[in-house]
A and B are shown apart, each in its own frame.
Chain A
Amino acid sequence: DVKVTQSSRYLVKRTGEKVFLECVQDMDHENMFWYRQDPGLGLRLIYFSYDVKMKEKGDIPEGYSVSREKKERFSLILESASTNQTSMYLCASTEMGEKLFFGSGTQLSVL
């Protein structure tokens, strides 16, 4: 069965910390995405990548960066975590035009 694995289900960090959220997919997909999900706001795209070492900003990239050194792994980095980055973070992967496969999410709390 296809799988998108996010390294942590729950994460608690302090303001100002550098935070890494890891995502791994086992489907050899070209495209990978990071979304954040907030109540009443739905899912908003932070960054996406359509190839190794390639990345593009989504709708809300401020305060985030990403890394894709290998095809199967896409990391989201919060350079200096802030309380307004407390959210559910969802990773997804897909082939072009096909459905997104989502991970189960990481609930990040920044205190």
Chain B
Amino acid sequence: AQSVTQPDIHITVSEGASLELRCNYSYGATPYLFWYVQSPGQGLQLLLKYFSGDTLVQGIKGFEAEFKRSQSSFNLRKPSVHWSDAAEYFCAVGSTGTASKLTFGTGTRLQVTL
């Protein structure tokens, strides 16, 4: 069965600092990988996704993520965080057969200090 681990429950960074949110997945074949963001009081929004090809994917709002098969990881990064990035971030994995059926991680809550 597929699974996702987000080891950091809560992260605090200063505005302007770089950010890396960790995600490890467990899946037998090539996974479909996603990062979603949930801002306070908002629905979930897709930041980026990886299906195949270039292992470094670019997303919206200046985010990027790198797929590392050897480490079963798909970490999310941003070079300079803005206060508006404060939100909860979810990593998710889907199978190649049913890419729409996603398994989500438990989330990482990002706090940004000014």
Chain A positions within 8 Å of B, measured between CB atoms, are 31, 33, 35, 40-45, 48, 50, 58-59, 90, 92, 94-100, 102-105
Contact = CB atoms under 8 A, between A and B. Distances in A.
Contacts of A44: 104
Interface stretch (B11-19, B39-47, B64-72, B75-83): B39-47
Which 6 pairs from chain A and chain B are nearest by CB? A42-B106, A43-B104, A97-B99, A99-B46, A102-B43, A102-B44
Contacts of B49: 99
Interface in B24-65: 32, 34, 36, 42-46, 49, 51
B100 A96 contact: yes
Given A97-B32, A102-B44, A40 B103 contact: no
A31 B45 CA distance: 17
Interface in B1-21: 6, 9
B74 interface: no
Interface of B: 6, 9, 32, 34, 36, 42-46, 49, 51, 90, 92, 99-107
Contacts of A102: 43-45
A7 to B, nearest CB: 15
A45 B43 contact: no
A48 B9 CA distance: 27
Contacts of A41: 106
A45 B100 contact: no
B107 A97 contact: no
Contacts of B102: 45, 100
23 contacts: A31-B100, A33-B100, A42-B104, A42-B106, A42-B107, A45-B103, A48-B101, A50-B100, A58-B101, A90-B44, A94-B100, A96-B100, A97-B32, A98-B100, A99-B49, A100-B36, A100-B44, A100-B100, A100-B102, A103-B43, A104-B42, A104-B43, A105-B43
